Structure 1
């Protein structure tokens, strides 16, 4: 498959690229850095908001690995996701989004999100709120073949690659050890599995370490 990874300079993006390459997929990275620091040899320096419909033609899937944390840039989660959705609108190119855990529901009625619970860390609320807003906006799009993948609450950059994960849905899930944790490497496995299988079009899914 031909896969594009945008905002490819980040650590999650690099894990996804490496996983896809290891499975024999053709991966093109789009990033902002002058020097290619990603695992793929096909690197194009281009800001996510400058990408065009033509840039993403011919790909089977586009992975949106955009992330930002500063207060003045949090709205870019919505802005960049809308831009990608707009330029992929009406095409067969699938859009897979590296999401957040804060918007997962903690009740079967789907009335309370993790970010709204008393123990949710105050420092992460602005980011979780911004990511939740961008997901809510994405849900309104019926013109794009999107999939939003939320990691576990403890998303570990340097965690081990176990090769196993539990696939869940909209609700916050703990594993058998009552943990909500997953490594970037295992998340990348789930992401590439979804790229290959395409089982959750226009749905949000989540993953946790098995």
Structure 2
């Protein structure tokens, strides 16, 4: 499949780009600065996410939004999300969003979110809140094929690629070791698995590593 990764220079974006390429997909990195791209030989579109148009994204089967907003500019998660909704509305291209764990619920009644718990780090509150707004905009949108993927509470860039993970929907997952943990590598596997075998169209799912 033809897959574009927005924010392919970042930790999540680069992990997903590599996983998709290693599995034989035709990948394109969409980045603001191509000179910072670690992956060599990858097709590149050097463009700001806010400037992307429907024609830019039309060649792709899937567009992955792994955009990371700078500190104190967390509202850009909403702006980027809105721009992609508008660009992809009415097209067959699927949008997959790299979300956060903050908007997941910690109770079965789904009344308390991770971001609302006392121990949630204050420095991540703005990011979590703006990503939650992006999720709500997706849920309220029409004529767009989307999936929002939340990691576990501990999202580990150095963690192993085990290929063993479990999925849920809107509640924070805990693995058999009692941890809410997922490595970037396993998260990338889950996303590419979802691309190859869609199970969560127009909804959010979350992932926890089991090993």
2:59 is matched with: 58
Do the aligned partners of 1:98 and 1:150 also contact (CA within 8 Å) in 2? Answer: yes
2:38 is matched with: 37
1:117 is matched with: 117
Deviation for aligned residue 1:69: 4.0
Q: Distance in 2 between matches of 1:25 and 1:148?
A: 21
> Is the alpha carbon distance of 1:131 and 1:92 closer, same or farther for their aligned partners in structure 2, counting shifts above 3 Å?
same
Q: Deviations over 1:88-140 (max 9, x none)?
A: 00111100000000000112222211111122222221211111121112211
Q: Deviations over 1:148-198 (max 9, x none)?
A: 000001001111111111111111110011101111111000010111112
Equivalent residues in 2 for 1:121-160, closer than 5 Å: 121-160=121-160
Q: Distance in 1 between matches of 2:139 and 2:39?
A: 30
Do the aligned partners of 2:6 and 2:67 also contact (CA within 8 Å) in 1? Answer: yes
Runs of 4+ in 1 over 2 A off after TM superposition: 36-40
Do the aligned partners of 1:27 and 1:40 also contact (CA within 8 Å) in 2? Answer: no
1:168 is matched with: 168
1:6 is matched with: 6
1:79 is matched with: 79
1:186 has 2:186 as partner: yes
**5+ residue gaps in structure 1?**
none
Do the aligned partners of 2:34 and 2:44 also contact (CA within 8 Å) in 1? Answer: no
Q: Distance in 1 between matches of 2:102 and 2:91?
A: 30
1:201 has 2:201 as partner: yes
Q: Secondary structure at the match of 1:55?
A: helix
TM-score w.r.t. the length of structure 2 is 0.95
Do the aligned partners of 1:7 and 1:47 also contact (CA within 8 Å) in 2? Answer: no
Q: Distance in 2 between matches of 1:142 and 1:179?
A: 36
Over the aligned positions, Cα root-mean-square deviation in angstroms equals: 1.2
